[in-house]
Amino acid sequence: MGNKRYLNFQGYSFMMPALLAILFFTIVPVVYAFFMMFYKVDILSGARTFIGLDNFRKIFEDPKFWASFTNTFRYVLVVVPIQTMIAMALAALLNSKINFSRGFLMIMFIPTLTSSSAMTLIFMWLFNNNGLMANVIEQLFGTKVEFLTNPSLVLTVIMAMNIFSTVPHFMVVFLSGLQDIPESLYEAASLDGANSFKKFLHVTVPQLMPITFYVITMGLVGCFQIFDQAFILSGGTGGPQNSTLTFSLYIYQLAFTSNDMGRATALAFVLGTIIFAVTYIVNKLLKADEVNG
């Protein structure tokens, strides 16, 4: 009995630094933010005034909230499915009997190794009014396209950048899942007369469902929390015409531009609720826990 207590004490001792870090840097801030939602807080003076649910009323009445809501959901609905499908297809290609050179594989991983800030600057250079893409389109079609100043196109640039930079990472995740699929399933499908496409559709895709759920979940969380690309590209304004304003950027503006930490924490709570609800719905639709036993 004494030995068991000693082992338990030893285990908790090793865990204590991590537990304290989680307590002070995660749990305490979350609890404190929960109470701040009901106050009008000026971060400069530190003054707090209890206003109940008024922060939520102000948020839902603000046109910038609905702009950030529309932009973020557009971003999620485009980026998550495309990056998931491309990553799965590339993983299946790499897992096939085709031999790829090491140089090609290394080039594929460069976007993942590049920081998002550097990637944003590269895409700003490519898509600015005198950038490579604008010049190529003008040479080919005789039309000048202004990607970064056109409210209809600038969010598309951020979408393309995110897909380009996240696909290699998710491809590796899918590749690890493909390695665990029993070869006997493909042999059985071959005996039933299935071609390569049918094997992929009826064997690979169902067997990868738990991995797909993980990839979609991580993609959803990352896309809903997009901040740095929109901040750098718009200079923190969310422009032009709020076309790059996302939830996280709007939270930043409320907290550090408007000095209203109460509304910022209320919006953060709304964002957290949306992420939880969407993830729950995706889990129910994919039924990932019912696949592979």
Residue 14 lies in a domain: no
Residue 113 lies in a domain: yes
The residue segments making up the domain with residue 103 are 54-290
Strand partners, 49: 40
Residue 119 lies in a domain: yes
Q: Which CATH number goes with the domain that contains 163?
A: 1.10.3720.10
Residue 17 lies in a domain: no
Residue 160 lies in a domain: yes
Q: Interhelix angle for 63-95 vs 154-178, to 10°?
A: 40
List, for residues 230-281, the tens digit of each pLDDT value: 999 988 899 889 999 999 999 999 988 888 888 999 999 999 999 999 998 9
Residue 3 lies in a domain: no
List for the chain the helix, strand, coil content (%; round to 5). Answer: 75, 5, 25
At 82, list the tokens: 């495309």
Distance CA 156, CA 162 (A): 10
Q: Phi first, then psi: what are they for 162, rounded to 5°? A: -65, -40
The structure's pTM equals 0.86
Residue 103 lies in a domain: yes
Share of the chain above pLDDT 90, in %: 35
Q: How high does pLDDT run on average in the chain?
A: 87
Strand partners, 40: 49
Question: Where do we find the tokens 């001792």?
Answer: 13
| Residue range 34-54: mean pLDDT, rounded | 84
Q: Decide if pLDDT at 291 tops 80.
A: no
- Note the pLDDT of residue 10: 81
Q: Decide if pLDDT at 32 tops 50.
A: yes
Q: Decide if pLDDT at 98 tops 80.
A: no
pLDDT band per the 50, 70, 90 thresholds, residue 283: confident
Distance CA 249, CA 244 (A): 9
Q: Decide if pLDDT at 293 tops 70.
A: no
List, for residues 69-91, the tens digit of each pLDDT value: 999 999 999 999 999 999 998 88
What total of structural domains would you count in the chain?
A: 1
